[in-house]
Structure 1
């Protein structure tokens, strides 16, 4: 009996569903009314040389929406359509910065298409910028990229720590770390986004300012020449954002206070310790958002594609840390305390996460060792730094403002950076808070 045909990604796309709040559905409906699919369909058929039909459902996010085109051989092309400014986007975001972000994503995808052998990135077929006749005909700028019959890993298995078969977990993590390690073999002398890639001649790469500022993830500016410059800028951006958010609250609570203080402490750690002052002269290419939501897999958990390269940049090794759903943000002492008490409410979760962290670390070592044997070493080693204080502190900075407990996270940063605990840590934080508020130089 012939196997049933695989369902395309659009089978799970929700179109307008889930957007009915704060006028978001109306915004999306108004935008969709301006989009003309017929020119898109003709463009897809031109680049593919095949007949195609557009699926009814679409997928929408903060910056892009996607239309799916099924070709007559059942292969897929996805049209990523740029949405207008999100109401909650950074007030400093401009059309120019958004177009620069698109330019950097395109350059990164082209670079990978011509240089990476095992990084499963979608093929880029075409891009129509604002003002091109094709973009005018469609109603906005867009890109055409390769589509896949698969689901993102987050939907298939939300918590891979809970997989029943260790060999399945190993298969996933081996692929996960291998992709990141190969990306890290591409190193450049500055920290920033790939703003231009020449497909001709010697394939010149230009590193420009960070494009991920559009998503409020990292500061604008750069490119940066040193780790310290980069992390100082990241810390300052996080501190400014946290302080602004707290100032808009009617009654900030202790968690809000420590969110601001934690970002300020990170800035002090960058300035007063050696943790973020590496003397490296080259920096790894990094996806910067390779969570389970951006990894497409088939039914056997084989990686089909890593998607959404808009945050990609060259970066210091310290930005790498243990990802969700097994981050390393708690103190070693608290983890050991839980692991020694099988009756502890958190024992099951912590034990599974700790085991997955160990596997992830081992697989990163294996991936780097394999690349070194091929004459493509990862320098500096990511595996050697994953458990180090700098990577753990940066992971904590990224969790501030979430559900982890900002006070506990801030105290853990202080312990990792200075070895201070108890009253000594409290005294340091009180001094930092006075300094933050201009009451102490």
Structure 2
């Protein structure tokens, strides 16, 4: 390892890492503190020193999510790696140890596949992976990866929303964001699933969805149709919502009704039944939290590939912070009323979405000129009902306080119902749901 490690540029990410500050996923800070006391940082440092070819020191600050924790391992000349360390399984997780290992296996296979086949999407180089049970993992007290480090911070760390940036900067960001997604989408597969194995001899092998146990999918795939996949996703969302309702951890009825309505739309309408292959490759979480940028808003890396899979085209939707969650009518009313309190914010969001979609069109035309056109236009998919519905249901339980509004927008998009008709539809479903919760079945 030498020249392909990122050259220094200003500050390293760890200088903005918050460690325990504001970290309390599901009340599990104690779990994280216990884990930190149990791991052998010396073992991580020794391994990194071998890869770097010089003594490494480990950062005190760390960055933790629900499943991984990251440390920096820095050489004297400021080259550095990131140790991506697996956290213990959440006590409420339905995933088995085998499920957890398969999830990591798929991420490793995905990174190897992409490194071998694509040069236009920046992703970290994987220098080492120590699975559970390996000598180094036992020594460290956990499974871990050593991956390439980058001087940059996530797009999420900028101090203002993307749509408040100068238009020229927005254009620069969206050009990169959409072109990377389009480049990935040019890789297609006959099935929907995760890359479970890869070698240069056999190529990628599509297996079960890596997150199926975490997402509560009744079947893990691989799936042969988009509709089968969306049915499984809907069932997983409903099971999760009903479980929270029965355990009294969710008091908002619309947090349960929204997923139920989504399931009914998938099952009963034609909206998702026309989802056709071949199925494109998708990061599935290329949000602002997983895009690293430098001070000039150049993308230096896309990280966290554990959710990546081949997927139906309809999973593409407008990302945060420019989600499409309001009806066209509501949006128009706000835009045509300069005195409306949401006018300024809405107009900027709409402008940013238009630019984002335009950049997808340009990325798709660029692929066509290279003789590698996409099978379906993502720019067109973004405006379709399936994309909007899929994007909406993912916000229920995330946009707290908006569950009712999002649920009624699902009803409008799925069934064309508004006003009293929509209220009656939701009320009837609510009565049916009470029985399902009481009986403990869905």
TM-score by length of 1: 0.91
**What is residue 126 of structure 1 aligned with on the other side?**
128
User: Aligned with 1:310: secondary structure?
Assistant: coil
Residues 21 and 317 of structure 1: is their aligned pair in 2 closer, same or farther, counting only changes over 3 Å? closer
**What is residue 80 of structure 2 aligned with on the other side?**
76
Equivalent residue for 1:374, pick from 360, 365, 370: 370
Q: Give 1:429 deviation, angstroms.
A: 2.9
**What is residue 5 of structure 2 aligned with on the other side?**
none
Q: Give 1:100 deviation, angstroms.
A: 0.8
**What is residue 195 of structure 2 aligned with on the other side?**
194
**What is residue 263 of structure 1 aligned with on the other side?**
259
In the TM superposition, 1:22-421 aligns within 5 A as: 24-87=28-91, 89-90=92-93, 92-163=94-165, 165-198=166-199, 200-201=200-201, 203-213=202-212, 215-216=214-215, 221-249=220-248, 252=251, 256-278=252-274, 280-401=276-397, 402-403=399-400, 405-421=402-418
User: Aligned with 2:211: secondary structure?
Assistant: helix
2:187, 2:26 → 1: CA distance?
43
User: Aligned with 1:33: secondary structure?
Assistant: helix
Q: Deviations over 1:224-278 (max 9, x none)?
A: 11111111111111111111212222893xxx22222221111111122221112
TM-score by length of 2: 0.91
Is the 1:296–1:304 contact (alpha carbons within 8 Å) kept by the matching residues of 2? yes
When the two chains are superposed, the root-mean-square deviation of aligned CA atoms in Å is 2.3
2:403, 2:56 → 1: CA distance?
51
Q: Give 1:120 deviation, angstroms.
A: 1.0
Residues 250 and 79 of structure 1: is their aligned pair in 2 closer, same or farther, counting only changes over 3 Å? closer
- Structure 1 residue runs of 5 or longer lacking an equivalent are none
1:434, 1:195 → 2: CA distance?
42
Residues 404 and 180 of structure 1: is their aligned pair in 2 closer, same or farther, counting only changes over 3 Å? farther
Is the 1:128–1:134 contact (alpha carbons within 8 Å) kept by the matching residues of 2? yes
User: Aligned with 1:314: secondary structure?
Assistant: strand
Q: Give 1:5 deviation, angstroms.
A: 6.0
User: Aligned with 2:62: secondary structure?
Assistant: strand
Residues 288 and 245 of structure 1: is their aligned pair in 2 closer, same or farther, counting only changes over 3 Å? same
Q: Deviations over 1:73-126 (max 9, x none)?
A: 422211111111234x42x12211111110111111111111112111111111
Residues 10 and 274 of structure 1: is their aligned pair in 2 closer, same or farther, counting only changes over 3 Å? same
User: Aligned with 1:81: secondary structure?
Assistant: strand
Residues 166 and 37 of structure 1: is their aligned pair in 2 closer, same or farther, counting only changes over 3 Å? same
2:427, 2:13 → 1: CA distance?
52
Residues 159 and 183 of structure 1: is their aligned pair in 2 closer, same or farther, counting only changes over 3 Å? same
Residues 433 and 301 of structure 1: is their aligned pair in 2 closer, same or farther, counting only changes over 3 Å? same
User: How many residues are aligned here?
Assistant: 429
Is the 2:272–2:386 contact (alpha carbons within 8 Å) kept by the matching residues of 1? yes
Residues 21 and 156 of structure 1: is their aligned pair in 2 closer, same or farther, counting only changes over 3 Å? closer
1:429, 1:393 → 2: CA distance?
16
Is the 1:211–1:220 contact (alpha carbons within 8 Å) kept by the matching residues of 2? no
1:250, 1:69 → 2: CA distance?
40
Is the 1:181–1:364 contact (alpha carbons within 8 Å) kept by the matching residues of 2? yes
Is the 1:66–1:78 contact (alpha carbons within 8 Å) kept by the matching residues of 2? yes
Q: Give 1:219 deviation, angstroms.
A: 6.0
Is the 2:190–2:278 contact (alpha carbons within 8 Å) kept by the matching residues of 1? yes
Is the 1:98–1:214 contact (alpha carbons within 8 Å) kept by the matching residues of 2? no
Q: Give 1:179 deviation, angstroms.
A: 0.8
Q: Give 1:437 deviation, angstroms.
A: 5.0
Residues 127 and 105 of structure 1: is their aligned pair in 2 closer, same or farther, counting only changes over 3 Å? same
Q: Which moved more, 1:42-51 or 1:336-345?
A: 42-51
Residues 290 and 27 of structure 1: is their aligned pair in 2 closer, same or farther, counting only changes over 3 Å? same
Is the 2:275–2:312 contact (alpha carbons within 8 Å) kept by the matching residues of 1? no
Q: Give 1:422 deviation, angstroms.
A: 2.0
1:158, 1:193 → 2: CA distance?
34
Residues 312 and 250 of structure 1: is their aligned pair in 2 closer, same or farther, counting only changes over 3 Å? closer
